[in-house]
Amino acid sequence: MKILLLLAVVLASNLLVPAALAATPLQVTMLLEFSEKGAQAYQLQKQQWDILRSYAGEKLDVKYEHVSLQRSLDLVQRDGYCSLNKRKTPQREQQLLFSRYPLNIGPPLKLIHLAAKPLPAEVDLLDWLVKSPRSKIGIAAGRSYGPVLDALIAQQSTRFYQLAGEDAHTKLWLMLQKGRLDALIDYSVRSSLLAKQSDGIEATTIRGEPNFDLAYLVCHRSEHGQQLINLFDQLLQQPALQQQLLRNYQQYFSPKEWQQVSDEILRLFQTQSPH
């Protein structure tokens, strides 16, 4: 009888251990590239993550660190760290793990400028720089603006003021207001939020930019990082979560813009689904 009881205990223990392991949440430190005091200006940047986090439930144990963009790009190359809203570039994909699905989708980058210095509705950025030799454009140091703009920034580096540190976009905004910069490259949705604090700001379309931008979750290239990316992709392929994200993306676009891009964005999720 004692032997049978001992065997029963051993078998029960073996069954419980895998279950306990399966229930153990994945630990991750999410890097937020804004200070706590600057959170309001960046609140839209985190909404999609908050939606995904709610679907993860107890599968994730999340901590947050507020860091600069440069610090984020450094820390995300360490085990246990992930970051939000990153563009895919060939160099980054060699070093880091990206989610299969985008977390955030929004309108393309715009040239943000003072209304007192009007520009056409659409500009060829290189042509504008050539014709405005004293103009200076503000950008966040270390950020990728996409292959076309990244190449232009490298080619015309003296024409761009690159600001590092926390809340770089907010600080660039203040520099624009004070006339220390002629324009910024940024998302119109963030500029619209900041513009509520001030009048006289306009956003001009940059010729050649895509209809919308894609931003992904990114983690350290390791076994643990792959487990996190796998979980993120499992969550992001859920139709209910996708529908909630699509409704969230809509706030970034004007009704006309959304009508033009919504079918293409929906197809993007469908084509990314595993077969």
Query: How many separate domains does the chain show?
Result: 2
Supply the pLDDT for residue 228: 98
Tens of pLDDT, residue by residue over 166-212, are 788 888 988 998 999 999 999 877 766 665 555 688 889 999 999 99
Strand order in the sheet with 109-114: 122-123, 201-206, 109-114, 183-187, 137-140, 160-163
% residues pLDDT > 70 (the chain): 83
Supply the pLDDT for residue 36: 65
220 and 84 in one domain?
yes
pLDDT at 163 over 50: yes
Tens of pLDDT, residue by residue over 41-55, are 556 678 999 999 999
What CATH number is associated with residue 195?
3.40.190.10
Confidence of residue 37 (pLDDT cuts 50, 70, 90): low
% residues pLDDT > 90 (the chain): 62
Please tell me the distance from the alpha carbon of residue 120 to that of residue 252, in angstroms, as a whole number: 22
Confidence of residue 2 (pLDDT cuts 50, 70, 90): very low
224 and 149 in one domain?
no
167 and 126 in one domain?
yes
Question: Worst-scoring range by mean pLDDT, 25-34, 124-133, 181-190, 257-266?
Answer: 181-190
Q: Which domain holds residue 86?
A: 2-106+214-272
Average pLDDT of span 96-101? 96
Supply the pLDDT for residue 9: 42
93 and 12 in one domain?
yes
Residue 98 or residue 22, greater confidence: 98
Domain end, chosen from 171, 186, 206, is at 206
47 and 97 in one domain?
yes
Supply the pLDDT for residue 274: 53
Q: Please tell me the pTM assigned to this model.
A: 0.83
Supply the pLDDT for residue 170: 84
Residue 13 or residue 133, greater confidence: 133
- 263 burial class (0-12, 13-18, 19+ CB within 10 angstroms)? exposed
Question: What are the residues whose beta carbons fall under 8 Å from the beta carbon of 262, sequence distance 6 or more?
Answer: 246, 250
Residue 39 backbone zone (phi > 0: left; psi -120 to 50: alpha; other: beta)? alpha
